[in-house]
């Protein structure tokens, strides 16, 4: 199983847990819309804060290995261990990707798809997605098990929003910023997540 499929599966599991918790609350939320360069119109919603807590719990931060320090006569964490440094850097990338994904899942929904843009459930998009995921190392079985939430997430990233995430007027940047604003996430946090996000 690839890292991308692991992160996506963790995000979807986390999203389902949060969704079930939020079902009982069902309070009206302020909504607005954003149109991206493809002409797709998204309804923007506030992401429940518990979604980020659930996500953090599903992707725990790696702990540094411990070594005995004779100078202090005690065991201490070794944050300079090369394997730990690599694991932490990979975790930060995975967490940024997961934050972006959970924000898209909970903070957006389709309001309008113009002619000429494939829909998430279209056979053409499913076929394109299958080819893309196979090139990323997903197995046929993993692709076959993709559900509606995962397909929507990939559709937003690869069909509805075009271009790089970086850049002031990129579709994903604008969408993520709008979701962040609706959810009370600071612009600095949005910028930091976008910087770490894997294109």
More confident residue, 40 or 68: 40
Tell whether the model's pLDDT for residue 193 goes beyond 60.
no
Q: Which two tokens stand for residue 48?
A: 């429940």
Domain spans in the chain, listed from the N-terminal domain onward: 3-24+31-196
Instruction: Specify the 3-state DSSP secondary structure of 90.
Output: helix
Strands, DSSP E only, in 36-157?
41-44, 66-69, 74-77, 108-112
Strands, DSSP E only, in the chain?
32-35, 41-44, 66-69, 74-77, 108-112
Which pLDDT value is given to residue 169? 76
More confident residue, 65 or 19: 65
Which residue reads 């075009």 in tokens?
162
Q: Is the dihedral of CA 186, 187, 191, 197 positive or negative?
A: positive
How confident is the model over 34-48, as a mean pLDDT? 94
* pLDDT tens-digit series, residues 56-109: 888 889 999 998 888 888 998 899 999 999 999 999 999 888 988 999 999 999
How confident is the model over 30-43, as a mean pLDDT? 89
Percent of the chain with pLDDT strictly greater than 90? 50
Which pLDDT value is given to residue 35? 94
Q: Rounded to the nearest 5 degrees, what angle is found at the Cα of 46, between the Cα atoms of 106 and 198?
A: 50
Contacts of 133 (CB under 8 A, 6+ apart): 5, 142, 143, 146, 154
**Under 8 Å between Cβ of 107 and 30:** no
pTM of the model as a whole: 0.73
Give the chain's length.
199
Comparing 14-18, 24-28, 57-61, the range with the smallest average pLDDT is: 24-28
Give the mean pLDDT of the chain: 84
């Amino acid at each position: 199983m690839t890292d991308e499929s692991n992160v996506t599966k963790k995000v979807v599991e986390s999203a389902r847990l949060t969704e079930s918790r939020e079902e009982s609350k069902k309070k009206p939320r302020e909504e607005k819309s954003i149109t991206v360069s493809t002409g797709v119109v998204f309804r923007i919603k506030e992401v429940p804060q518990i979604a980020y807590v659930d996500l953090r719990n599903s992707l725990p931060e790696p702990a540094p290995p411990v070594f005995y320090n004779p100078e202090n006569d005690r065991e201490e964490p070794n944050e300079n261990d090369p394997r730990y440094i690599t694991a932490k850097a990979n975790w930060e990338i995975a967490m940024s990707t997961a934050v972006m994904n959970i924000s898209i899942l909970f903070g957006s929904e389709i309001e309008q798809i113009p002619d000429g843009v494939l829909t998430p459930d279209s056979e053409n998009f499913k076929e394109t997605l299958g080819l893309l995921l196979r090139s990323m190392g997903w197995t046929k079985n993993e692709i076959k098990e993709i559900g509606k939430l995962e397909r929507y997430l990939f559709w937003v990233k690869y069909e509805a929003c075009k271009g790089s995430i970086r850049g002031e007027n990129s579709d994903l940047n604008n969408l993520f910023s709008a979701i962040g604003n609706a959810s009370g996430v600071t612009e600095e946090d949005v910028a930091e997540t976008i910087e770490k996000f894997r294109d």
